[in-house]
């Protein structure tokens, strides 16, 4: 190894050794009060910062139940900012959630506005995730409306949603539109929801499993109450109908619950185009004939 002694260091190497390590200012956290966004000034802020402040305030209004204030701020954002498709979808969905969250009945003008927003919303759908959220929001809104002529629209919306993604979280939305179903239909829906929930419990762990088990107990109790109102032969027909579609849980539910991946939400192949929706709805009611009983 003596030959290494013959090498001389270059000027570059010497310069590197003599360079001083840069001195950086000490790190300090930028902490805000919990509700800093409530009173912060929007002057001299970038456009992005102003939008973020407004969105924080919208979330705050929504959390405190001040849906009217949240709605007004969202309308301002929608009118005064240049929105891409994703941002527009978010704003429309948030506006509809405000209407859904209101405890009082919606006025005729509010209902008309919501229906226009639904039309705008649907025109922006491009993938599976968008369509699932749209159908969930639409179902919740239709369930809130006082007009019983929404019955067919709600039922068809739920049919599309559960065909698209048959998870427990979607099936349980039928409960929100209970006014659109007879006792016999609700009994069948609760039995079906129980089957889906049993599957998800089997594939869950920890506190998630415990939470689902509590929901199962509630549904079982509600099912027993409805069962007392029905004839034995009607109950047998529903049980026979559900048992003849065991593949429903083994295929669609398993694919949409335990095997679902985040990137699937951006899939355009799974979106149901308008031209195919009548056939999809028809297939759903064919699979669950007890829903055509009234």
Which helix or strand (DSSP H or E) is residue 252 part of? none
pLDDT one-digit tens code per residue, 170-222: 999 999 999 999 999 999 999 999 999 999 999 999 999 999 999 999 999 99
Nearest to 198 by CA among 187, 212, 218: 212
More confident of the two residues 172 and 80: 172
Domain ranges of the chain: 166-294
- State the burial class of residue 113 (Cβ atoms within 10 Å of its Cβ: 0-12, 13-18, 19+): middle
pLDDT one-digit tens code per residue, 258-267: 444 545 555 6
The structure's pTM equals: 0.80
* Rounded Cα distance, 12 and 206, in Å: 60
End-to-end Cα, the chain, rounded Å:
96
Q: What is the DSSP letter of 291?
A: G
Position 87 scores a pLDDT of 92
CA atoms within 13 A on the CB side of 35: 9
Position 256 scores a pLDDT of 42
What value does the mean pLDDT of the chain take?
Answer: 85
Nearest to 293 by CA among 196, 183, 204: 183
Whether 160 has a pLDDT exceeding 90, the answer reads: yes
Three-state DSSP state, 21: coil
Q: What is the mean pLDDT of residues 7-12?
A: 55
């Amino acid at each position: 190894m003596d030959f290494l002694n013959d090498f001389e260091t270059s000027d570059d190497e010497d310069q590197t050794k003599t360079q001083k390590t840069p001195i950086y200012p000490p790190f300090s956290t930028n902490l805000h009060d919990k509700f800093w966004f409530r009173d912060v000034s929007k002057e001299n802020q970038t456009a992005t910062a102003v939008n973020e402040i407004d969105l924080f305030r919208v979330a705050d209004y929504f959390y405190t139940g001040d849906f009217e204030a949240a709605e007004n701020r969202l309308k301002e954002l929608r009118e005064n900012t240049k929105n891409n498709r994703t941002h527009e979808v978010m704003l429309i969905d948030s506006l509809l959630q405000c209407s859904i969250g209101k405890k009082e009945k919606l006025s005729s003008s509010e209902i008309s506005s919501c229906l226009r927003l639904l039309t705008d919303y649907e025109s922006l759908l491009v993938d599976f995730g968008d369509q699932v959220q749209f159908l969930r929001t639409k179902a919740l809104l239709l369930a809130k409306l006082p007009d019983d002529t929404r019955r067919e629209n709600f039922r068809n919306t739920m049919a599309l949603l559960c065909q698209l993604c048959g998870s427990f979280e979607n099936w349980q939305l039928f409960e929100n539109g209970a006014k659109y179903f007879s006792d016999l239909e609700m009994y069948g829906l609760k039995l079906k929801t129980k089957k889906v929930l049993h599957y998800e419990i089997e594939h869950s762990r920890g506190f998630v499993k415990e939470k689902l088990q509590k929901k199962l107990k509630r549904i079982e109790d509600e099912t027993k109450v409805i069962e007392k109102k029905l004839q034995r032969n009607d109950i047998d027909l529903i049980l026979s109908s559900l048992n003849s579609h065991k593949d429903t849980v083994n295929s669609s539910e398993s694919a949409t619950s335990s095997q679902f991946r985040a990137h699937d939400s951006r899939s355009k192949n799974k979106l149901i185009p308008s031209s195919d929706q009548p056939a999809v709805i028809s297939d759903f009611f064919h699979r669950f004939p007890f829903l055509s009983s009234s």
